[in-house]
Structure 1
């Protein structure tokens, strides 16, 4: 059985050296095969020798040539097995090292058998028991110890499994060589099929989505540079989408992943509507990244370097693009879009918003190095006709799942940042603000300094202090003519019931505003005056712009009446062509993003 000491003490460079040696031997045998075919069998055939003896000699020489060729193939098949085993062991070794480091930093001791222990709480006086607080702390410590123990056990199991699989593969190759089964054309073909069906041990050893970003970061940094490059080349999708991997590395992996994803979709033949939507979106992202690269090359002072932090075909598609390097920036903001967001938004309007906020932030405080991110890491509700997907805005499931992913993403930004900690801001718009709110209310919260909610239908919280940070750092922008910020509560909390949903369905054919207004009217609501439980109760809890919520409402233009623009113009410049003179909402968000929230102009809460 694999134990901690065995995995820790393993020196796997020797396996790479052995693989290189087998490659050289295999290449030499391949040369022998060529020499035999041309120099021996070929000469005999071309010598003019004919007759029964010549035919038997030719058959014998041909059989020998097949064996030499098969031997070369068998020898060459050993090297990949050794390399894969070395990589799998090395990845497990680094995961174990990261876990042991974290456990020690948290005050735990890990035994040679993987057991995790800690110093329990002691009574404050000999004749007294431990306090209630100490009891809860001890229970939390016990749960964390159990979690560390399970993770260490899992890593050892992965290493043990890799050891068994590699041993079986080498044993099979050895048996083929000893019995001669590997020296036939048929056996060579079967061996190739066996290799095609084999489990990818390296893929299994890479940390999975949702892993602790701090442990992922420690694992990555512990890998030798050549191993990092191998993973980048052979596993770009996993590395590019793994929170805790440094941003420049993710960018490099995801650019390769983007090209590969587009090629796969283009070669798939007849695409479904959803696949075509993804292909169009990924093409837009590729074009946007290329244009931003060129703009940065020409005018770096006004065009930051783009970093592609996520690309995936999961669900509606996943993408994240950063304007500026979040690993070195002094200020980092990650924006979550909402209703109707499509994957192409990362190359279009949602990317525009992130870059416009970067531009406004640089103008607000030129001394700051800002990274502004658009994160499309969940399936946002779509507003396309009276369909169930259209009405998903009324549900919580997408925000809950998206909140879990967003929390890990932001934790990853913290884990990969270099030098002094960055000032970090979470920004959610529309249903995206509900997603941010769900992330903030998860255990552990969001590791941010400020939260901005704009065009919000609620966060699922009744008070700003439920979002895990000081309410003084919870900021709300709500245009008076933005209908989403007046949505009545859903059926679960208000009894809106069928009327609201029918209204939403009836209005859906008229676009986002029609659906929103239909939901309000059908539910008996209006612009903040017809709520059935509380005039400040929105679809997803307390109105963030209300006094009861307890956040900071910053100044925002009221927006045009009865226009969907009122829900989307929070990022406007008054001079859009020159990207100058930001609107009140954009200017205030820029002050908050750069850590100067005290300069933001306030607006009275509702």
Structure 2
């Protein structure tokens, strides 16, 4: 598809066609109901018996199946046209917006299939030699060119996919296969209709980086952004790189859908009951929140054990952003409960440390922590291997890159905070080659190890790695039996003790906590848990000079 074709396309035509097919299907349904009442029901209840009666009823059942299949095919065509219409409208909107920006910048656009642009600009007032060589002008030229080509590529892909679908409907109508029996809903005259998701294919591909997603979003007019949020929150709410406000609006819509869908089931597995309880707890938290700080539902999903991200404060405008990852035994409902409380406590501690700086404190449950209690022991660690943390590390890195991409103004001071098994996920994220968390500081509390023996391998310099380890927290002493047998007293379950001098991180002061129990493991983010939370507040606020240190082990 060339530029002129897409530019001059009227996106309203496909929805009109889809509506026509829907009307035809509705008319066909009335015809089918009349036929069923006048012929099928009368014959079935007539009391007619014998070979001829059996043959007649078999023929009528075949006719009924063909009638249902025909109406189903009409609805499938309509659904496909609507899906294509959404994708074409998006590409058309992207193209028109890019053309308008090109015009405002004085750039002339050729009408060929490449969507190429001439430079120096031919539109608008004459440019000076200095402007012709201005790198900002060339950067804008490159950006608009890329957007034009992306819109054309998306439209072309949609056109090909839609043509293939319609050709398939034509073949089915020609050879009669469109009238064969398919899977029906309980009501045979109200079949479940599915269609290819052409709109999803028109968005940046799943492997597009958050920066590319952010640039694509910024190029959309506000009314198109709002249309996507409202009509397809599933494509917007969890896309890293999109603004917090857009994600929050989309995810609140998604949360209501999850609540309705899960509550509508007459029977739920234990896992689904846990998700429903989690969705309800998060909705309750949102209902109770208000004022300061504003709460954003940054992510929600029912994958695995459930996904949720809450932000206390706007991460797109905050000077300091903390991202807390909970550990073993964390459940979806706790995002609306104790883990949400912990993130809020971090926000409050950072505010006390520096009231003049905006802070956003987030809780990130974007992975499946090992199930069970939040107590790491030699027994529970049998199921707490690195696999879940490594899977979470990739998602966490992408999430952090999304925070960078959507942020407004100067870059934020970004702090990665991991507790217990969550500290392993954060540390493994920092160790991913060429990626890392993108954080400026990493805080590890109650950590059973990081998967490495050196703070310098976590994606930041060692002086930006902070460790809180209570002396009475048994989790921070869980040994690696093999390495301990070789004389390494600092060996822990997932590597060297992060609180040891050999690891090379800053150890900050925390309360020892009560001995002989796991209470010390849960005090780090508790407002009455000693100096731990105030120290974390100073780190998040960007005041490392105010952190009270504690000798390494």
Aligned pair partner of 1:535 in 486, 489, 499: 489
Distance 1:393 1:416 in 2: 36
Q: Find the counterpart in structure 1 of residue 516 from structure 2.
A: 562
**Alpha-carbon shift at residue 449 of structure 1 (Å):** 0.9
Is the aligned partner of 1:593 residue 2:546?
Answer: no
Q: 1:28 to 1:193 in 2, by over 3 A?
A: closer
**Alpha-carbon shift at residue 10 of structure 1 (Å):** 5.6
Query: Unpaired runs of 5+ in structure 1?
Result: 1-5, 34-72, 98-111, 115-151, 183-191, 496-529, 575-581
Aligned pair partner of 1:216 in 210, 213, 222: 213
**Alpha-carbon shift at residue 365 of structure 1 (Å):** 0.5
Distance 1:388 1:266 in 2: 38
SS in 2 for 1:16: coil
Q: Which moved more, 1:251-260 or 1:263-272?
A: 263-272
**Alpha-carbon shift at residue 322 of structure 1 (Å):** 0.3
Is the aligned partner of 1:17 residue 2:16?
Answer: no
**Alpha-carbon shift at residue 222 of structure 1 (Å):** 2.1
**Alpha-carbon shift at residue 19 of structure 1 (Å):** 3.7
Q: Which moved more, 1:85-94 or 1:9-18?
A: 85-94
Q: How does 1:225-240 map to 2 (within 5 A)?
A: 225-240=222-237
SS in 2 for 1:354: helix
Aligned pair partner of 1:317 in 292, 300, 306: 306
Q: 1:396 to 1:172 in 2, by over 3 A?
A: closer
Once the two structures are superposed, residues 118-160 of structure 1 have per-residue CA deviations (whole angstroms, 9 ceiling, x without a partner) of xxxxxxxxxxxxxxxxxxxxxxxxxxxxxxxxxx999998755
Q: 1:486 to 1:317 in 2, by over 3 A?
A: same
Residues 320 and 377 of structure 1 are in contact (CA less than 8 Å); yes or no, is this contact kept in structure 2? yes
**Alpha-carbon shift at residue 231 of structure 1 (Å):** 2.2
Q: 1:84 to 1:7 in 2, by over 3 A?
A: farther
Q: Which moved more, 1:399-408 or 1:205-214?
A: 205-214
Q: Find the counterpart in structure 2 of residue 286 from structure 1.
A: 283
Is the aligned partner of 1:403 residue 2:398?
Answer: no
Once the two structures are superposed, residues 222-247 of structure 1 have per-residue CA deviations (whole angstroms, 9 ceiling, x without a partner) of 23333323322232123111111111
Distance 2:78 2:270 in 1: 44
Q: Find the counterpart in structure 1 of residue 551 from structure 2.
A: 604
Q: 1:8 to 1:344 in 2, by over 3 A?
A: farther
**Alpha-carbon shift at residue 214 of structure 1 (Å):** 0.7
**Alpha-carbon shift at residue 542 of structure 1 (Å):** 1.2
Residues 211 and 241 of structure 2 are in contact (CA less than 8 Å); yes or no, is this contact kept in structure 1? yes
Q: Find the counterpart in structure 2 of residue 185 from structure 1.
A: none
Q: Find the counterpart in structure 1 of residue 402 from structure 2.
A: 412
Aligned pair partner of 2:315 in 326, 338, 351: 326
Distance 1:433 1:345 in 2: 17
Distance 2:149 2:224 in 1: 24
Q: How many residues align?
A: 457
SS in 2 for 1:335: strand
**Alpha-carbon shift at residue 489 of structure 1 (Å):** 1.5
Q: 1:31 to 1:398 in 2, by over 3 A?
A: closer
Q: Find the counterpart in structure 2 of residue 553 from structure 1.
A: 507
SS in 2 for 1:332: strand
Once the two structures are superposed, residues 241-297 of structure 1 have per-residue CA deviations (whole angstroms, 9 ceiling, x without a partner) of 11111111110111111110111111122111111111111100100011013xx1x
**Alpha-carbon shift at residue 22 of structure 1 (Å):** 5.1
SS in 2 for 1:14: coil
Q: Find the counterpart in structure 1 of residue 429 from structure 2.
A: 439
Q: 1:604 to 1:265 in 2, by over 3 A?
A: same
Aligned pair partner of 1:364 in 353, 356, 360: 353
Once the two structures are superposed, residues 541-586 of structure 1 have per-residue CA deviations (whole angstroms, 9 ceiling, x without a partner) of 1111111111110111111101211001011223xxxxxxx73110
Q: 1:429 to 1:375 in 2, by over 3 A?
A: same
**Alpha-carbon shift at residue 389 of structure 1 (Å):** 10
Query: Unpaired runs of 5+ in structure 2?
Result: 29-71, 97-112, 116-147, 179-188
Residues 382 and 392 of structure 1 are in contact (CA less than 8 Å); yes or no, is this contact kept in structure 2? no
Q: Find the counterpart in structure 2 of residue 481 from structure 1.
A: 472
**Alpha-carbon shift at residue 212 of structure 1 (Å):** 0.9
Q: Which moved more, 1:383-392 or 1:319-328?
A: 383-392
SS in 2 for 1:15: coil
Aligned pair partner of 1:457 in 448, 455, 463: 448
Q: What RMSD, in angstroms, separates the aligned Cα atoms of the two structures?
A: 4.2
**Alpha-carbon shift at residue 211 of structure 1 (Å):** 3.6
Aligned pair partner of 1:244 in 231, 241, 244: 241
**Alpha-carbon shift at residue 85 of structure 1 (Å):** 2.7
Residues 377 and 406 of structure 1 are in contact (CA less than 8 Å); yes or no, is this contact kept in structure 2? yes
Distance 1:406 1:365 in 2: 27
Q: 1:91 to 1:470 in 2, by over 3 A?
A: farther
Residues 376 and 475 of structure 2 are in contact (CA less than 8 Å); yes or no, is this contact kept in structure 1? no
SS in 2 for 1:11: helix
Is the aligned partner of 1:471 residue 2:431?
Answer: no
Q: 1:286 to 1:24 in 2, by over 3 A?
A: closer
Q: 1:565 to 1:92 in 2, by over 3 A?
A: farther
Q: 1:602 to 1:274 in 2, by over 3 A?
A: same
Distance 1:13 1:371 in 2: 44
Is the aligned partner of 1:165 residue 2:161?
Answer: yes
Distance 1:395 1:27 in 2: 53
Q: 1:587 to 1:278 in 2, by over 3 A?
A: same
Q: How does 1:366-405 map to 2 (within 5 A)?
A: 366-383=355-372, 390-391=380-381, 394-405=384-395
Q: Which moved more, 1:20-29 or 1:248-257?
A: 20-29
Q: Find the counterpart in structure 2 of residue 273 from structure 1.
A: 270
Residues 11 and 89 of structure 2 are in contact (CA less than 8 Å); yes or no, is this contact kept in structure 1? no
Distance 1:472 1:373 in 2: 23
Q: Find the counterpart in structure 1 of residue 253 from structure 2.
A: 256
Residues 332 and 424 of structure 1 are in contact (CA less than 8 Å); yes or no, is this contact kept in structure 2? yes
Residues 488 and 532 of structure 1 are in contact (CA less than 8 Å); yes or no, is this contact kept in structure 2? no
**Alpha-carbon shift at residue 392 of structure 1 (Å):** 5.2
TM-score normalized by the length of structure 2: 0.72
Structure in which a larger fraction of residues adopt helix: 1
SS in 1 for 2:6: coil
